[in-house]
A = this chain, B = another copy of it.
Amino acid sequence: MALIVKKFGGSSVATPDKMRAIVQRVLAGKQPGDQIVIVVSAMGDTTDDLVALAKEITSKPYGREMDMLLSTGEQVSIALMAMAFREAGHKAISLTGQQAGITTSDAFNKGRILDIQAQRVIDELKDGNIVIIAGFQGITEHGDITTLGRGGSDTTAVAIAGAIHADACEIYTDVDGIYTSDPRVVTNAQKMGEITYGEMLEMAKLGAGVMQPRAVEMGSRFNVPIHVRSTFSDVQGTMIQEDYSMEIKQYLIRGVAEDKNVAKVTVLGVLNQPGHAYKIFSELADQNIDVDMIVQSVRVAKEGTTDITFTVSRSELPAVRDVFAKIRGEIGAEDILIDDKMAKVSVVGAGMAGHPGIAASMFGILGDNDINIEIISTSEISITCLIAEESVDKAVQKIHDHFFAESEA
């Protein structure tokens, strides 16, 4: 007897046939007494189609109305999935985000889950239903529909699992687990049996795809074991959990990740006075622009000025330009340089703390391969270098070869 949340993405529910395949698989794997919650995304390209429809009407992002529109995609999926389960002879009921008790902030298009009152979910499970919940959506305190932004259905699944104290949350994807590096880049990348939340967060933030950081954070907060596994096979995937199983050795390095969605912004000749750096980053924060690496140079080309360099996602560049158009006079900057051909390479591993040699090895490998490091940042469990995009695939392969020759995944 287990209580399991299973999340299926849009490509897994793209057609009635694919829905039926999920139904068969879920029912085949269900033990007597198991309670099952299913979280689904919109079918196939539905969300893109709805966005295109909105674009025929306006180019402006009316957040509330956009969420009203987009949330219909998941609602269609849950209704059809519930029908498919009932057609297969099992009791099932669909619930919208609102019906599942999911309250979010009122940040339309990127709502944050504030609370889940899951009593209805629990009641429907007790009543013998497979409960099918719309991913990616919730409502504000005022009853307006919100969507949760990128990766929102994963977040819904993990949050629901936390709220109902599920034994695990299974995320079904088109890959069969988390790899030590991107298998498309590093051909000898190895699938991991387990990984900690912290490691996964670093991997995810660094673009290793598969799981959105928000969902992993949610899993960490509520201590929900997350099983990332394949939609297409029954092979065991990767467990994301608080700690490794007792039998498994403590890993030094867990993975090597890359992120190509990086742009470097350099603000030249900022007056080196108190408050100017604050001004820049508070304005960026006001526009919800997520700034990653930051360095302030000590160049003295002009007395009393400094250069500030930081990285953002490439999609944020138009917003960054708007911010600087507004504040440039105030901070006295000479010029803004933007390089959108940058990338990040990182090594991640909860075991690396206290092993300073890892950073040295990484820098040495990059140097041996004539790859220039522009910025370095570190955390307890990762080391990240900003390098040119054109070199990043090579860098990942070389670093992976080095560490995974010594240590197996």
Contacts and interface: CB of A to CB of B under 8 A. Distances in A.
Interface stretch (A1-9, A73-81, A259-267, A399-407): A73-81
Interface string A71-94: 110011011101110110000011
Interface string A115-138: 000001000000000000000000
A20 B62 CA distance: 16
A72 B62 contact: no
A64 B78 CA distance: 12
A16 B86 contact: no
Given A16-B56, A76-B72, A86-B60, A65 B50 contact: no
A80 B94 contact: no
B80 A64 contact: no
A76 B145 CA distance: 13
B53 A68 contact: no
A19 B75 contact: no
27 contacts: A16-B56, A16-B57, A20-B57, A50-B76, A53-B80, A54-B79, A54-B80, A57-B84, A58-B83, A58-B84, A58-B87, A60-B83, A62-B82, A65-B79, A65-B80, A65-B82, A65-B86, A68-B78, A68-B79, A68-B82, A68-B94, A68-B96, A69-B75, A69-B80, A72-B76, A72-B79, A99-B143
Interface of A: 16, 19-20, 50, 53-54, 56-58, 60, 62, 64-66, 68-69, 71-72, 75-76, 78-80, 82-84, 86-87, 93-94, 96, 98-99, 120, 143-145
